Amino acid sequence: MKNIAVLATGRGTNFKSLCRAGLQKQFPGKIALLVAGRENIGALDVAEEFNIPRYVLDPKHFPSQEQYNTELEALLSRFDIHWIALAGWLRKIAAELIEKYPNRIVNIHPALLPFFGGRGMYGMHVHRAVWESGMLVSGATVHFVDEQYDHGAIIMQQCVALSPEDKADDIARKVLRAEHELFPKALKRVLSTPYTVKNNRVCFKPGA
């Protein structure tokens, strides 16, 4: 059984979708830890609901980025974490952590990457940009994390049809539903199916 840590800084709705999936007998991993980026967020309540160990690591409480990174790595080691899932995590992952967990850190993004990604593109910033573009399709992307924002190899995507009448809030609601479906599905696949990452592409073993 592979232990999974979820890093979150918000309401925790994607985290909750992973917790629910983790209760299923066929899910090939255990949601073993929540690391919250700040206090008093919904994700902490979700962790309590599902009886998952939870810790708050707020960067404001550390004198340096290096000490923060060291504490995070120590926490992950203490819980014997094999995989990391970012569910609304707004901090850039340190290169040292990416090196320690190569192609084992996954992120969910509320758009169809490579569109509407990059530094500063999160939450409603993404959905407003989609609305302003006039596009009639959006969606969600689960991808591996590398040292650039929203750049790692794409694992899975799910499209969402939009209406010309949709506003940014409508787009956000539609995409969030897709995220809740996609994230557990994508995580289950990488946990259970042999794959390689080449030329920034995830290639799953045929027939697996």
| Residue 29 annotated as lining a ligand binding site | no
Q: What is the pLDDT of residue 9?
A: 95
Cis peptide preceding 206, ω within 30 of 0: no
In this prediction the pTM is 0.95
- CATH dotted code for 1-101: 3.40.50.170
Residues ≥6 apart with Cβ < 8 Å to 194: 204, 205, 208
Taking the C-alpha atoms of residue 31 and residue 137, their distance in angstroms, rounded to an integer, is 32
Q: Of 21, 48, 23, 108, give the one whose Cα is nearest residue 56.
A: 48
**pLDDT score recorded for residue 206:** 83
Asked whether this chain's domains 1-101 and 107-208 adopt the same fold, the reply is yes
Domain 107-208 fold: Rossmann fold (3.40.50)
The pLDDT score that the predictor gives to residue 103 is 96
Q: Structural domain boundaries of the chain?
A: 1-101, 107-208
Consecutive 10-residue runs of the chain (208 residues): their mean pLDDT?
96 98 95 97 98 96 93 97 96 94 97 96 97 98 95 97 98 98 98 94 84
- First and final CA of the chain: distance in angstroms? 19
Catalytic (active site) residue 125: no
pLDDT number for residue 1: 86
> Out of 109, 127, 143, 180, which one is annotated catalytic?
109
Q: Is 42 annotated as a binding residue?
A: no
Q: Helix %, strand %, coil % for the chain, to 5? A: 35, 25, 40
Q: Is 199 annotated as a binding residue?
A: no
